[in-house]
Amino acid sequence: MEDSYIDTVIEDCKDKMAKAVEHIRGELAGLRTGRAAPALVEKLRVDYYGAEVPLQQLAGIQVPEAKMLMITPYDKGSLKAIEKAIQNSDLGINPNNDGTVIRLTFPPLTEERRKALVKVAHTKAEEGRVSVRNIRRSARKDLESLEKDGDISTDELDRAEKDLERVTHEYVTEIDRVLQHKEEELLVV
């Protein structure tokens, strides 16, 4: 019976940590590299008839060339709103609107901009690590309260904390791998 309490806490912890890693993956995917990627704009909030809607729900996003994104609105009436959202974003790109589609041409990144993006990536990765550690802290409190209530023994608590430490290390290592991959991607000229 005791193992099931511990297993539940550890499994819940793994699930939350996996979600934190996926969140960081998504955050880093949104960082601009030298290539055009739909992830750069799909979460962009567009004011569509008074409601804030993610761009991916309003338009199809294609990558016809390595340095170009093509955005095709499902509703032609949303063209101006999409264009305005892109101009107001931190992408630093002027959209080209031909009345049917919006084209975004990405200029090559400067060395200075690449280094700034690497710093942003490091900040986001650190946020992910902190999130994983907070999940570990919460799980440790759950385990300690199980021990205090007499549901598990002190030895079982020690083993569970070692498992928790191992799991935490795995997820922090995964965040570091994702960061390293993004850093290499950003620094390639």
Give the model confidence (pLDDT) of 157-175 as tens digits: 899 999 999 999 999 999 9
Give strand pairing partners of 53: 46
pLDDT value at residue 1: 46
Residue ranges making up the domain that contains 67: 38-105
Centre a 10 Å sphere on the Cβ of residue 17 and count the other Cβ atoms it contains: 24
Among candidate residues 187, 111, 157, 174, the one with its CA nearest the CA of residue 9: 157
End position of a domain, from candidates 80, 105, 130: 105
Tell me the CATH number at 42: 3.30.1360.40
- pLDDT at position 173, please? 96
Q: What is the pLDDT of residue 35?
A: 72
At 34 the pLDDT is 66
Model confidence, pTM? 0.70
Of the pLDDT bands very low, low, confident and very high (cuts 50, 70, 90), residue 3 is low
Task: Work out how many domains the chain is built from and give that number.
Answer: 2
Instruction: Check residues 90 and 182 and name the one with the higher pLDDT.
Output: 182
Residue with structure tokens 């962009």?
Answer: 44
Rounded mean pLDDT of the chain? 88
- Shared domain check, 101 and 63: yes
Same domain? For 116 and 91 the reply is: no
